[in-house]
Amino acid sequence: MNCMSNLSRTPIPNDIFISTLKLYYQMGKNDFYQSLFKPDFDFISKQVAYQEAYSFYKCFFTDYKIQESRLRTLQLDSTVPKNKAESLYKNILAIFLMIHSAHSEPFHLSVTEINDLVKWLFKDVYGPEKLQYRKLERQKHSLLTSESVSRREHLEELIKKLEELKKTNLYESTFLYLNFAIDFLNMEIYKIQENDIIALLIIYILCMQEGLLVTKYVSFFSKLLLNITEFKAALDKTKFGWSEGFSEMMPLHRFILKHYYQLYIDLSDYARDYQYESSLEISKSDYIENTIDKLSEVFSKEDIRLKHPLISDSTINRTLKRLQEENKIRPLGKGRSAKWVKLYQKEQKKTITTQLNFDLGEES
């Protein structure tokens, strides 16, 4: 646990300090967001959980191939996985639905809960033997004898160290959890190769419980997917020099602080649109029709969902059916990924130049 042991000797750059203050300023709006989204919180939580699961899978499990249409089908409780890739995706879905459920018990950082999380994530993907703690060979009483020590003991020591440091109130929580995660992944606690993924998932849960509530309303991993190359480069830097106690973790810290700050900015925009939508007196169907009118000539249901994440699929489907019956749109193909085309031309607003272009006749 080289990072955790060297915290007192780790200097904090000025830009990290300023970024932390900016993030905490945004966190000061948590109560407002909780009050604002309370009427639709269950629906929002479920939608965010689906987005997180999809993006988490896309970020870290690209070797497991599943077609896009099948990914949406796997969101249904009744869908049974056919292979390891689909089992993994169903596990990811279950974990994020649990994390975002208002009725779930909080995650307690302990050896038991971490182990349960690992087994849940890779259930029916890896066998029990692979989901064991890595063992470390060390010399016993002579050069010829040795004993195996499980990394479980090291994990217990790491968690104990974290708890001790938290009690001192000398370190900011995000900074503390990042150092914990860097030690966790470099110590290679489990036999599998995904120790870094497990570490990130633990950080995600702990930061949410610590007060970074933005991830209850907007997707952390959707934005991470857009910057995954930068994230992995920063993560790789933490591995150099770790064994000597000189891990370069500031690039990762900068990335995480910036990432959460941008999520709060996105949430501010989302809250503004939500307030506007809630104050509308027109029906949701009319609101969807107005959105379709502003979309391109060919559009999809996903284009509408992106504009109205709180409107149900059934309402969108009813609106599309009504517009089809009114001969305003027609489908291009069938299935979930089908496109729709408008059958009318949107009236173009006259520009000032056009309005002033009077025909005054020719001079004789």
* Torsion, CA 258, CA 260, CA 262, CA 264, rounded to 10: -150
Phi, psi values for residue 350, rounded to 5°: -75, 135
Region 237-246 average pLDDT: 86
- pLDDT value of position 251: 95
pLDDT band at 364 (very low <50, low <70, confident <90, very high): very low
Higher pLDDT, 77 or 287: 77
Residue 362 in this model has a pLDDT that exceeds 90:
no
Distance CA 352, CA 289 (A): 28
Burial, 40: exposed, middle or buried (Cβ in 10 Å; 0-12, 13-18, 19+)? middle
Alpha helix locations (H) across 243-351?
A: 250-279, 284-294, 301-307, 313-325
pLDDT band at 107 (very low <50, low <70, confident <90, very high): very high
Q: Which of 31-35, 168-172, 245-249 is predicted least confidently?
A: 245-249
For the chain, the domains span 28-127+195-275, 283-342
pLDDT at 290: 87
Query: What 8-state DSSP symbol labels residue 351?
Result: P
pLDDT at 57 > cutoff 70? yes
Cβ–Cβ < 8 Å for 118, 194: no
d(CA 14, CA 86): 45
Percent of the chain residues past pLDDT 90, beyond the cut:
65
Distance from C-alpha of 116 to C-alpha of 110, rounded to nearest angstrom: 10
In this predicted structure, the answer to whether residue 363 has a pLDDT above a threshold of 60 is no
Of the candidate CATH numbers 1.10.10.10, 1.10.3720.10, 1.10.10.60, 3.20.20.70, the domain formed by 283-342 belongs to: 1.10.10.10
pLDDT single digits (tens) 249-274: 999 999 999 999 999 999 999 999 88
pLDDT at residue 280, as a whole number: 67
Give whichever of 2-16, 115-129, 134-148 has the largest mean pLDDT: 115-129
d(CA 212, CA 206): 9
Indicate the pTM of the whole model: 0.80
Look at residue 149 in the predicted model and tell me its pLDDT.
75
Per-residue burial over 191-205, b if 16 or more Cβ lie within 10 Å, else e, is: ebebbbbbbbbbbbb
Does the structure show a pLDDT above 70 at 284?
yes
State the average pLDDT over residues 345-360: 54
